[in-house]
Structure 1
Amino acid sequence: MRSPRKSIGRCAVSTLTLLLMSACGSGTDDANQPPAPTPTPTAAPSLHAIVYGASDTSVPRGTDVPITMMGQMRALFDLIRKSPDFTQVVMDLGDGTPVHVLDTNTGDKFLPGKLALGLSYILIDMKAKGDPKYADYLATYQKITTAMMAQPSGGNYTYANTSWGEYYYLVALNNFKAHGMLNEVFSDTMLATLQNRLTFCDMFGADSSGKTNTCPAAGVPIDVASLNTAQNYYAVSYGIAGLRQKLGWSNPTFSSATDPAVATMNARDALLYTLTNHIRNDSSGGFSDEASNTHTTYYDQARFDRYSTLLIGEVVERTLEMGNEANLTPELKGYLRKSVDLILPQLNADGEGFNYGRSIGPYGDSAFMEVLTAAANAGVLTPQEMQIAYTFIYKAARRYETFWYDPTLPTPSVNMWVKGRGTDTYRGKPRVMGENFSLLHQYMYVDAWWSKLGFGGKAPMADSDYQAWLDARPRYTLTWYNQPTDTAHPYSAALLTVRDGNRVINLNLSQAPDYNSFTPYYPVPFSDKLIYGTTDLGYALLIPQVSYNGKTYIPVTYYKNLNVTESNGQVIVSFDTAKFRQAAKNAAFSTDLDLQAHTVLTFGRGTLTRTDTLSSATLTGNVTVETDFTSFADYLSTTANGDGFSVNYANNANSNATGYGTTGFDSCALSNFDTTAGGATNPLSTTPIGQLHSNFACMTQPFTINAGSTRTFGWSLKYSS
């Protein structure tokens, strides 16, 4: 196997590279230009067999998936091509509300770029094979790209194609250039339009209250601090700047009121410099704080989630993609290694990724994949870790094909929206076509990199060897986002990962000011088929939710004194919560409740327990407390026990819970969680991985808690591994 460090430089490959590749090319003016794709053997399972397939992109023998990813991309191309009016293409997910996915009112502002990129894979493949239908598909591609970049007069036109859409489009352009097809696919006039449109200017300057989507006059620099969106979008603008530079296009320049060094750099390097500062300054643990740009004091910052880990992977991948390896510093590689060290303890035999925070589902799986791939290319994995990473990615690709992709839908598609699943508003169903394209692209570019690293067409590790590596992982791993000795960041922010046999359990402590009222950010254990949050919504999921003076409060921030120990096979976690937050998105901090909780969580073998001891020095009046456990187990197979405070679950394919009970409450009630009283699907029940079916809610009568008094609540959950 080629040394991972030798993959950087002459043999680096653009993420645009189509799928299977042989050794590094030579005798070319473009060091990143790949050879043409070659067929993969049809007998051995491999990442390439799932992504690309046989020479005709069909599913090879021995590969147990319904369709290859290239097959999915071709089906989407055909769906558009065969429509009499491509702007009226419908994707039907079988829930009674088909989506006109290319209508200008879809709200998917990234779609033009995703289309340009996704469909480019098909054109390049057809061209390389001399496919007689190539001219027909090329004409369709040109029709679509021309129409979607046309700018009608007046109004907000969805197809303006912002940020990520601009980046995706530039990936496609560099992809075509690498294969000598750029001027065949795009006219000079269209390229001039794209050069003018595909910039990062929409991410800088005025915000939504005074939106500015145009670049300043020539020679007028942009203030690098004027980013009008989340700070992770510095990475998107960095990718845009680097890919423009790779095409030979000029970039707007930057200035900075606080750092003159920015004005001396080209746009690409100024953005990388700013990104590095973001990671360096906003977290002493080396992770990206995704709330740091909108809040001014630490106590209301610190949202650490999937993107806090993924951002550095994207930065490194973009750096390699644009040929900017010279600026891949030891500092950046060190941050990347921190993300690797957070991910490795969570690896599993099913290809599952993040199970907490926002924008997970299939993106939770692919985030692991993208970070591990960047790490492989940057040379920060050991040879054994390379084998482990490739094996996990193979399993994640297979999970995408057999779990996330649903060929039984009226329009086969990735499914994040129906059959009991739910995702963020950000990734709402109107974005269904774009989500297919972007997810497929992630697997395609990852397959290209691993092929370049010498894994093209290779089988993953034997299951027994991979499982042996998993079994050797520590019982628990504690990853600090901010070091406990960092006086500038006084509250605990960390991820605890506990392994119980094959089960991975995560406890994420994150302040998450803009999301802490939503269950995926609660300080509770999350694990597949056992405990899962519901996106963009909140309820009393395994926390003591307090009602006081007609308002609801929850212990979801201000964590202090985090301590983790292991004794007799049990992992014991304790922490304090200094105040309770009002259970509302972006609630004012002036509404915080002077109520404290001392929490102890115990991770046993097949058991989870939690106790919360509540106290307050100033609270007056009565409070009530509620805690819910919502299970994937069927309501009809769940049995309430005679004690009134516990339930038994029939172990089935939906859930691994076997029993749950509480202490400290006055009453409990078991109920169906699927539907509301009116018969509609209960929105609280639709998690990224499927529907919650039953709820066991326990509550108190009103009681007084004040100086000198405490009250303790607890629950215990039993499960099968």
Structure 2
Amino acid sequence: MHSSRKSSVIFAASTLTFLLVGACGGGLDDGPKNPVSSASTVSLHGIVYGATDTSVPSGAGVSITMMGQMRALFDLIKKAPDFTQVVMDLGDGSPVHVLDTNTGDKFLPGKLALGLSYILIDMKAKGDPKYADYLATYQKITTAMMAQTSSANYTYANTSWGEYYYLVALNNFKAHGMLNEVFSDAMLATLQNRLTFCDMFGADASGTKNTCPATGVPVNVASLNTAQNYYAVSYGIAGLRQKLGWSNPAFFSATDPAVASMGARDALLYTLTNHIRKDSSGGFSDEASNTHTTYYDQARFDRYSTLLIGEVVERTFEMGNEANLTPELKSYLRKSVDLILPQLNADGQGFNYGRSIGPYGDSAFMEILTAAANAGVLSAQEMEVAYSFIYKAAYRFDTFWYDPTLPTPSVNMWVKGRGTDAYRGKPRVMGENFSLLHQYMYVNAWWDKLGFNGKAPMSDSDLQAWLNTKPHYTLTWYNLPTDTAHPYSAALITVRDGKRVINLNLSQAPDYNSYTPYYPTPFSDNLIYGTTDLGYALLIPQVSYNGKTYIPVTYYKNLNVQENNGQVVVSFDTSKFRQAVKNATYATDIDLQVHTVLTFGQGTLTRADTLSSGTLTGAIAVETDFTSFADFQNTMNSDGFSVKYANSNATSYGTTGFDGCVLSNFEMAAGVTNPLSTTPIGQLHSNFACTTRPFALNAGSNRTFSWTLKYAGSN
């Protein structure tokens, strides 16, 4: 299927000259002490680092480099008389005090320590006369955020990701001979005590609480108290502590004695491998498997299910643990590559379904491809394509996600019609800038080291020509149909219609299946998009029954995908309907079935849902909505069941089987922005809602509802 790039190529590439900032991220510690000029302004390097003074190279097409963005954040903090009162203003009337202790961002101290370290290392290498002044600011802030003395009035948590980010910064300082210049011995002792993975592990089965590192009580590797992807975070922490020469707490497992003989780093990698191996026969990470115990209560496959192995491989290189990068781990990474290659595009857009996407949906593709390049699982042609996509993602970040017109220039996930999940709420705005910029900086560093420093990407026409070679559709199973331990269908169907990429993701998604990004709905950029943390009848038959709302969002069976006469036809059954509320118990499911057929044609999407039930009594009513990015200036057709759109990728939408439809303004509700209308990529403006009157669905009867969406720009 593809030729492997030999690992010798990867390690030979490590001797190539690369930019200083490359040496600062991703654990790259053997670069030169002075920056190297970019060979091309139109390159990943040109956007991320820029010219030798980090300014925008002529012709790069961006307003500011990512190093420039990081310096602006440093300056914003530095000029404040009291850094705890630093404000970021996104122009929505509610500025945020981004460095106080109430942001809810428990990763911020680590993000800040890492993000600002890029500037310090760069200034030191260049002999910048302002270095001492910036160093003093850095020391003041990091001490205040982390020392936490009994008399301190500024106490800040720094957990999991924050600990990992901080350790990356420490290792980068060490690599540049700056560790003991930046941090005193007392501060290093504080950090050694605080930067552990203990907060991610809870009590064992007997109720014994993990304590570390002072008491010497081993940590139970099976007691992770958060999502499964945090095994990768703890693995990174353990490996980076080991790289600094710091000891790690011991691990034990009541069910696997082999863990007790391993160091923490290797025990965590061993546990990660077992998680991926046992929780999905398709090689992807089930992110719900730690808190849910039965097959129907698991199977949340989303961005992180694909990204986790990329992070594991990246951490492995970062900590210098390549000897433990097994063929099995590389095979899982290749599965993630095979899932995202059919989704690549010339616009740098990444995941468009699931939670925590937006700019992180784009950067996830970038991180997976970079890990794959380092691990030698990409062909030479795929390396060129991967680099070109990453360049496009960086350009998209600088020209779409980053908004220089805001009162405080920043990445924008919160205003101007955009919305993100509560996990990444606006109080975390500064931390999100730091972590996203770091992702691009470390990725750029690896590609510099792989020999792409200053290299121009493929031309748009050449990139699109390669993309056009991808299959019309790709079916990726998360749990294979032969896997009897997971009897429900869990898979991603990706359809390419010219330049347009459409994803249909089927997973159980417990705790999230009431939210639109996890619906069994086709998603496609600027055409169909979910709203984070909220649900409504987005292109599914939403049922009202006995005063409650139910949706077909799990229990998928009999998935079948065929291509006939140029059309991709997807069919599946849903055996029960779930109550449309977060954390609904499975006891509230109702005996209602639907047979669904989705047809993907050129410029056309059609869905037909046939509802039936053997035992349901009483009347039900059905609603299906299509919400459009089109301006609210359109009118329904005379038939009352269809609408034409102008100034939109969607051109028309129509339904059958309903009793009536209403076109309404979706953007505003009671004079304020409708929270349902803010997607990660922008504002939805209009809604076409079709409904039925209550009707009985008796045993042996059924009723079919359908919709057809037509769109432009498929070629």
Shorter-chain TM-score category? over 0.9
Using the size of structure 2 for normalisation, the TM-score is: 0.96
Do residues 607 (structure 1) and 604 (structure 2) align?
A: yes
**Pairing 1:645–2:645 present:** no
2:7 is equivalent to residue 5 of structure 1: yes
Instruction: Report how far residue 21 of structure 1 moved.
Output: 6.9
For residues 473-518 of structure 1, give each alpha carbon's deviation from its aligned partner in whole angstroms, at most 9, with x where no partner exists: 1100000000001111100000000000100000000100110000
Q: Secondary structure at the match of 1:316?
A: helix
> How far did residue 31 of structure 1 move?
9.0
Per the TM alignment, residue 443 of structure 1 is displaced from its structure 2 partner at its CA by: 0.2
**TM-aligned CA distance change 1:178 to 1:277, over 3 Å:** same
Once the two structures are superposed, residues 374-421 of structure 1 have per-residue CA deviations (whole angstroms, 9 ceiling, x without a partner) of 000000000000000000000000000000000000000000000000
Asked if the contact 1:21–1:38 (Cα under 8 Å) also holds between the matched residues in 2, the reply is no
Deviation, structure 1 residue 661: 0.2
Q: Which residue number corresponds to residue 703 of structure 2?
A: 711
Output aligned runs, 1:246-645, within 5 Å.
Answer: 246-636=243-633, 638-645=634-641
Contact 1:7 1:377 in 2 (8 A): no
Q: Is the 8 A contact 2:22 2:442 kept in 1?
A: no
In structure 2, the residue corresponding to 1:508 is in which secondary structure? strand
When residues 596 and 71 of structure 1 are mapped into structure 2, their CA distance, relative to the original with a 3 A threshold, is same
Identity among equivalent positions (%) equals: 83
C-alpha deviation, 1:639, in angstroms: 1.8
Question: Which residue, 14, 18, 21 being the options, matches 1:19?
Answer: 21
Q: What SS does the aligned partner of 2:672 have?
A: coil
Distance 1:115 1:299 in 2: 40
**Unpaired runs of 5+ in structure 2?**
none
Distance 1:157 1:481 in 2: 45
Q: Which whole-Å deviations, capped at 9, do the CAs of 1:193-250 have from their partners, x for residues lacking one?
A: 000000000111249xx99795254432111111111111010000000000000000
1:209-224 alignment, distance < 5 Å: 215=212, 217-224=214-221
| CA distance in structure 2 between the aligned counterparts of 1:151 and 1:13, rounded to whole angstroms | 42
- For residue 526 of structure 1, give the secondary structure of its aligned residue in structure 2: coil
- Find the aligned partners of 1:557 and 1:541 in 2 and give their Cα distance: 15
Distance 1:99 1:31 in 2: 34
Deviation at 1:152, TM superposition (A): 5.1
d(CA) in 2 for partners of 1:13 and 1:185? Answer: 28
- Aligned residue number for residue 687 of structure 1: 679
Q: CA deviation at 1:43?
A: 4.9
1:42 CA displacement: 6.7
State the SS of the aligned residue for 1:159.
coil
Instruction: Select which of 684, 694, 700 maps to 2:692.
Output: 700
> Could you tell me which amino acid in structure 1 is paired with residue 95 of structure 2?
P
The one-letter amino acid paired with 1:642 is S
* Matching of residue 75 in structure 1 with residue 72 in structure 2: yes
What SS class does the counterpart of residue 246 from structure 1 fall into?
helix
Q: Distance in 2 between matches of 1:134 and 1:535?
A: 42
Other structure's SS at 1:525 match = coil
Matched AA of 2:639: D
8 Å CA contact retained: 2:20, 2:32? no
Structure 2 counterpart of 1:664:
657
The superposition leaves residues 19-61 of structure 1 with CA deviations (integer Å, 9 ceiling, x where unpaired) of: 3579xxxxxxx99422224233375400000000001000001
Cα distance in 2, alignment partners of residues 445 and 376 from structure 1: 14
Equivalenced residues, count:
705
C-alpha distance in 2 between matches for 1:245 and 1:218? 19
User: Take 2:290 and 2:40, find their aligned partners in 1: how far apart are those partners?
Assistant: 51
Query: Structure 1: which 5+ runs fail to align?
Result: 23-29
Q: Any idea what the Cα deviations from partners look like across 1:162-182, whole Å, max 9, x if unmatched? A: 000000000000000000100
1:85 paired to 2:87: no
RMSD (Å) for aligned C-alpha atoms:
2.0
Aligned partners of 1:216 and 1:222 also within 8 Å: no
Counterparts of 2:706 and 2:88 in 1: how far apart (Å)? 46
Look up the match of 1:183.
Answer: 180
Is contact 1:40-1:48 (8 Å) kept?
no
Q: Which shifted more, 601-610 or 41-50? A: 41-50
Cα distance in 1 between the residues matched to 2:95 and 2:74: 18
Instruction: Give secondary structure in 2 for the equivalent of 1:394.
Output: helix
Deviation at 1:157, TM superposition (A): 7.4
Structure 1: distance between partners of 2:620 and 2:142: 59
Q: Secondary structure at the match of 1:278?
A: helix
